[in-house]
Amino acid sequence: MDAIPLTLDGYLAADPEPGDREGTASWRMTCSAGTDHLVEEAVIPCTTMEPEIAHALLTERQPGDLLRVIGHLTLPGTADGVIRLHAESLEVLWEAPVLDADGDDADTATATDADADRNNAIAALAEALTGFGQAAPGPGQSIRMHISPTGALGSGLEHCHRFDVTPAMAHRLADYIDAMNCFMDSERPDGAVLTSETVADLTDLFDDIDLIDLTNTVLNATRPEHRPAVTQAMDDMFGDIPAPEDTDP
């Protein structure tokens, strides 16, 4: 069958390989052709008997490079044959960035450590919630909770867990979380769990604080040169508060 003249643009799919004879090479190109509604992709085997092209492919090019190949396409004589583009000219349209092997190793190690930390945290949480759920006796309506890694699960199904708890147990769990949140950024004392009544009392206490009076009292007792820093500190703690110039002298 006659060869068909063809110009083809595509990405180098893998490292080129030397041919059976010196000055030859073979490679594969990933080519896409489509419309707004359909995109088709094919991998086209390519060969060349041009020593300059073979040398450039084997020494300078890397997967991901966008190439333009001009040559002749030969079609197979049988249904199970392989089409092949015999390159006579090659142009580099875009070079893929060179990958930093050391940087890739560091990134991979960091990602692996992060995954291990996450999986250990999931295991600890699953163990705690398993005991919590087992403490819920009796039939009746229950609440189902799931924990799993984010993203595609794939082989990470062993890190997925499911728990059933009663509404009463769910309320207790919510109280524990509220108690932890009451400590904000400070370290939570071991074994300290605030009751719901204590949380309510603390809420009422902070609701009764008049921030304007508090600001005036603090700033009036502060040296003028220190007022901006004190104002910023109070703003970080309580939110927006009056500026020094807006307070009573």
- On whether the CB atoms of residues 6 and 85 are closer than 8 A, the answer is yes
- The pLDDT-based confidence of 214 (bands split at 50, 70, 90) is confident
- The pLDDT-based confidence of 67 (bands split at 50, 70, 90) is very high
- DSSP helix/strand/coil, 80: coil
Structural domains for the chain: 4-94 (2.40.50.140), 101-199 (no CATH), 209-246 (no CATH)
Question: Is residue 154 pLDDT above 60, yes or no?
Answer: no
What would you report as the CA-atom Rg of the chain, rounded to the nearest whole angstrom?
34
* Global confidence as pTM: 0.40
| 46 burial type by CB count under 10 A (0-12 exposed, 13-18 middle, 19+ buried) | buried
Return the pLDDT at 152: 43
Q: What is the mean pLDDT of residues 217-243?
A: 73
Lowest model confidence (mean pLDDT) among 9-18, 89-98, 116-125, 192-201 = 192-201
The predicted-structure confidence for 116-140, as pLDDT tens digits, reads as follows 888 888 888 877 777 665 554 555 6
DSSP state of 75: -
Q: H or E segment at 29?
A: strand 25-34
Lowest model confidence (mean pLDDT) among 8-22, 131-145, 168-182 = 131-145
CA distance 245 to 249: 8
More confident residue, 196 or 170: 170
Q: What percent of the chain has pLDDT over 90?
A: 20
Helices (H), the chain: 51-59, 101-134, 167-181, 196-207, 211-220, 227-238
Return the pLDDT at 58: 94
- The pLDDT-based confidence of 212 (bands split at 50, 70, 90) is confident
More confident residue, 63 or 77: 63
Q: H or E segment at 162?
A: strand 161-165
> What's the whole-number average pLDDT of the chain?
75
Nearest CA to 61 out of 8, 13, 7, 9 is that of 13
- On whether the CB atoms of residues 182 and 176 are closer than 8 A, the answer is no
Pairing of strands 66-74, 84-94: antiparallel
List C-alpha distances in Å: 188 to 41, 176, 191. 57, 12, 9
Return the pLDDT at 127: 79
Query: Nearest-5° angle of CA 44, CA 48, CA 53?
Result: 110
Pairing of strands 66-74, 4-12: antiparallel
Which residues are CB-contacts of 121 (< 8 A; sequence separation ≥ 6)? Answer: none
